[in-house]
Amino acid sequence: MTENKQKLFFITLLRHGESVGNAESRWQGQADFPLTDRGREQARALAARWLREKVQFDHVISSPLSRARETAEIIASELNLKVEHEPLWLERDNGEFSGLTAQEVRQNFSHPDFYSPYDPVGSDGEGDWELFLRAGQALHSLLKREPARYLIVSHGGLLNQFMHAVVGVAPQANNAGTRFRFGNTAFAQLVYFPNQHRWAIDRINDHAHWPDTD
């Protein structure tokens, strides 16, 4: 790295591999579902791709939930890195929806025609605004570290709100507005220029190592 590049944050945001909860169409939230065999294959395929491309990271930070943790450990093992676990990167707490199938949620809960970003999910879970604020905390916590090359392994809901925090777009009512797609083991790459407070988004939902990811 040149002296100038050492002052930059290179941030890769990675969603975990396919989990049992994904395969069963469950609202996972903070319920701790492990990876499926397919999810482990996705993580190994990505690790192999990054080895071929000579991608390097200085730090790997993961959500403590097993689907993210195992994804991070598979990749970090191949890249000869250690994994840090940080609860700020946990998936949304979706309250009473946690662990239920989509059908069970539809059948057992009322769904109002209008809800604001401040309303809880799953009766007592994190609403969009609360999740957005936690994603902002995760962003702030990351940028308080030294500029370096970071791999963050987390979850679709949290990573979506992290991207909203980066681009300065607050959550909208009724889940309207912009969404950032993160398939299983798909990743985004961002660069932050702290002396200019400027972001560059280089990639989003990159899953070339596993083309048929959802």
Give the model's pLDDT for residue 213: 73
Domain ranges of the chain: 5-206
Residue 214: name the closest of 64, 28, 74, 19 by CA: 19
Judge contact between 11 and 163, C-beta under 8 A.
no
Ranges of the chain whose pLDDT falls below 70 = 1-6, 214
- The residue length of the chain stands at 214
Judge contact between 78 and 60, C-beta under 8 A.
no
Secondary structure letter of residue 35 according to DSSP: B
Give the model's pLDDT for residue 15: 98
5-206 placed in CATH 2.40.10.10: no
149 exposure class (CB count in 10 Å sphere: 0-12, 13-18, 19+): middle
Give the model's pLDDT for residue 212: 83
3-state helix, strand, coil in the chain (%, to 5): 40, 20, 45
Give the model's pLDDT for residue 214: 66
Largest CA distance in the chain: 58
- Look at residue 171 and give its three-state secondary structure: coil
Residues catalogued as catalytic: 16, 91
Secondary structure letter of residue 90 according to DSSP: P
Residue type, 87: P
Judge contact between 63 and 53, C-beta under 8 A.
no
